[in-house]
Amino acid sequence: MRRGKLAIVVGMLVGLVAVAAASVVLFRGLAESNRTRSARDDARRRLESFYNRNPFPSVENVEIEKRNLETAREWSRELLAELQHADIRVTERQPRVFSSRRESIIADLIATAPVGEAGEKVVASDFAFGFDAYKGGQSADTADVQRLIRQLLITEQLIRAAYDSKVLRIAAISRDQFESGGSPAAAASQGGGRRGGGEAVAEETAQDTHEIDGPVPMTVERFTMQLTANEVSLVELMNRIAKLPVFAVVTRLDFSKQGSDYKAPPQEREAAGAGLAGGPTALANPQPVSRTARLVTGRDLEAPLSVTLDIEVYSFAGEGEEG
């Protein structure tokens, strides 16, 4: 009898524990459900607030943006005015004017060319600066005169920048070939004669894209310069091109060393020449050398660079008077 009562009591206790555990799990589940429901309702209210928000900006913000737009337009007008002020404008249309100016400018550029490598001038005496087709007195077409004169004046600025940068040699300069009727056979100029000339400068004749469509009417002239320079003069030339009165942009720069910047020490040079002068006696009794002669590398010994520059010059003004 006692065992039966004990079993009943134990069973009741186990049932109570199970009910308590189930109640705890239920209450926790209800609490988590309430939190999830609350988060869902908050997200819904936030989303509804986005959908119900006025999509149009306030009047104050509209006025601020109007003022900002006007300021940006004013800056744009000032920039365009500065670019147009430095532009090269040409009104002449007579071929004789181009011929006269070409002869005068080219003669002056050759006469004022500085001395470069090997004690020679940086350009040859017969250098045509990209206008080889007119060296023999050939007349330009009237329709081409304005653009030819503009190219001539830009070429002068580029060459002057190279002179002032102390480049060692100007091997070639080419310009956009555009002439109507295909009068020029080539628009490249290269050194000849004493420069070991005769090597033609390869030139790609791409489709003329002189006029560029955009929010601001503009035209572009493209030039390629091939020259020899050291590192300092090349950097100086890049800076001078950026400072030109016209809006000029270097679009490509290729360069390579013409030799090594390293010179063998005096001992190695003596060893190499011992078999030619003095034999073993020359090595046994080396001659003292100066501090400068002991240099094996440095700025004074750097090999020159062969440089190719592609330059684009933009014009933001129409056909007007020359400025």
> What is the pLDDT at residue 269?
54
**43 in a structural domain:** no
For residue 222, the 8-state DSSP code is E
pLDDT of residue 181: 56
Give the pairing of strands 305-315 and 218-229: antiparallel
CATH assignment at residue 177:
3.30.70.60
At position 283, the amino acid (one-letter code) is L
**pTM for the complete prediction?**
0.64
In a domain, 120, yes or no: yes
Do the domain assignments include residue 284? no
- Is residue 248 within a helix (H) or strand (E), and if so which, with residue range? strand 247-257
Q: In angstroms, rounded to a whole number, what is the distance separating the alpha carbons of residues 187 and 203?
A: 9
For tokens 């070991």, name the residue: 196
Largest Cα separation within the chain, whole Å, is 141
- Read off φ and ψ for residue 36, nearest 5 degrees: -65, -40
Rounded to the nearest 5 degrees, what angle is found at the Cα of 313, between the Cα atoms of 308 and 315?
A: 175
Alpha-carbon distance 71 to 115, whole Å? 50
Range of the structural domain that residue 167 is part of: 81-201+209-261+302-315
Residue 221 domain-assigned (yes or no)? yes
Helix, strand, coil content of the chain in percent (nearest 5): 50, 15, 35
Structure token digits, residue 177: 């070939």
Cα end-to-end distance, the chain, whole Å: 127
pLDDT, position 118: 77
DSSP 8-state secondary structure symbol assigned to residue 207? P
Residue 169 maps to a domain = yes
With contact defined as beta carbons under 8 Å apart, do 203 and 224 qualify?
Answer: yes
In terms of Cα–Cα distance, which of 175, 151, 9 is closest to 90? Answer: 151
Instruction: Point out which residues pair with 220 in neighbouring strands.
Output: 314
User: Vertex 94, ends 123 and 225: CA angle to 5°?
Assistant: 25
Residue 277: HSE in the Cβ half-sphere, 13 Å Cα cutoff: 6
227 bridge partner residues = 170, 307
- Asked whether residue 23 is domain-assigned, the answer is no
Q: How many domains, the chain?
A: 1
Query: Tokens at residue 162, please?
Result: 């190279």
Backbone dihedral angles phi then psi of residue 253, each to the nearest 5 degrees: -135, 115
Is the residue at 134 inside a domain? yes
As a whole number of angstroms, the distance between CA 29 and CA 15 comes to 21
Domain for residue 109, yes or no? yes
For 58-163, strand residue ranges (E) read: none
Nearest C-alpha neighbor of 178 from the set 222, 113, 234? 222
pLDDT along the chain (323 residues), means of 10: 72 82 84 88 89 80 92 90 80 90 95 89 93 87 92 96 95 89 47 40 47 79 94 95 93 88 57 51 53 58 89 73 40
Give whole-number Cα distances, 53 to 47, 57, 193, in Å: 10, 10, 80
Distance CA 50, CA 216 (A): 40
